[in-house]
Amino acid sequence: MSGTVGLEAELKRATEFPNLHVVHHPLVRHKLTHLRAKETPTPYWRPLIREIALLIGYEITRKLDLRASRIETPITAMDAPVLAGLPPAIVPILRAGLGMAEGLVDLMPMAPIGHIGLYRDHATNLPVEYYVRLPEAKNRLFILVDPMLATGNSASYAVDVLNRHGIGDDNIRFMALVTAPEGMRVFNEKHASVQVWAAALDERLNEKAYIVPGLGDAGDRLFGTL
């Protein structure tokens, strides 16, 4: 079976959003299928979301700057590449972002971790802030993490929070599992220069503002509170 099965419509939708990078690696798509499946229980869901976050994180960090560092191998001295500057900061949006943040920590154990606490008011679909704690902002890339970019309101608000703390859009990346066209449009009204990475751009939102086909409530599936 071709590695592009089921991608034609998604690729067409994605052309609307030049700042959206959908990771079509076969392992990402395979793991996402199991995350979507309603019969996948929480004990299997947790490692899957961690693993897929690591794979997407690999793509987000592909262009990090390097510098030469003098080291000694068991054989000889050499100039070897290491990351230049401060490591990126990982900032999950609570609570659902915590599972994906673990995958990024596996990839970058030296990365500091911040947290932004938001919940969605189901009457208005607007975010409500209840907690913010961030690492030092100067000269650092920040990776915001939330499995769902649905309405785009929480994602846009989280970027606003970073902006308030002196972090410009050029130093922010956003990582999601699945996104919706409606949410990307809302997000890009204010933050079109923020690059977004995801495993899928799904079809649409339903009347309850859930992504279709989506994967359900990521927080409930991660924490077993269904």
15, 79, 124, 170: the catalytic one is: 124
33, 120, 140, 169: the catalytic one is: 120
Cα of 46 vs its chain's centroid, Å: 15
Provide the pLDDT for residue 31: 97
42, 160, 220, 225: the catalytic one is: 220
Whether 217 is a known active-site residue: answer yes
Instruction: Compute the half-sphere exposure of residue 42: CA atoms within 13 Å on the CB side of its CA.
Output: 12
Provide the pLDDT for residue 9: 87
Q: How far is CA 99 from CA 15, 66, 82, 93, 218, in A?
A: 29, 28, 27, 10, 9
Residues 6+ apart with CB under 8 A from 216: 38, 210
Could you give the CA distance from residue 109 to residue 131 in angstroms, rounded to a whole number?
24
Q: What is the mean pLDDT of residues 12-40?
A: 95
Q: Report pLDDT digits (tens) over 109-168.
A: 999 999 999 887 878 878 889 999 999 888 899 999 999 999 999 999 999 999 999 999
- How many C-beta atoms lie closer than 10 Å to residue 106's C-beta? 13
Q: How far is CA 132 from CA 92, 129, 188, 201, in A?
A: 11, 8, 23, 28
Cα of 92 vs its chain's centroid, Å: 8
Whether 61 is a known active-site residue: answer no
Could you give the CA distance from residue 26 to residue 5 in angstroms, rounded to a whole number?
10
Q: How is residue 155 written in tokens? A: 């994602």
Residues counted in the chain: 226
Q: What is the mean pLDDT of residues 58-75?
A: 96
Give the pLDDT band of residue 3 (cuts 50, 70, 90): low
36, 140, 169, 217: the catalytic one is: 217
Whether 106 is a known active-site residue: answer no
Provide the pLDDT for residue 5: 64
- Burial (CB count <10 Å: 0-12, 13-18, 19+), residue 224: exposed
Name the helix (H) or strand (E) containing 181: helix 181-191
Is residue 35 within 8 A of residue 48, CB to CB? The reply is: yes
| Domain architecture of the chain: domains with CATH | 8-223 (3.40.50.2020)
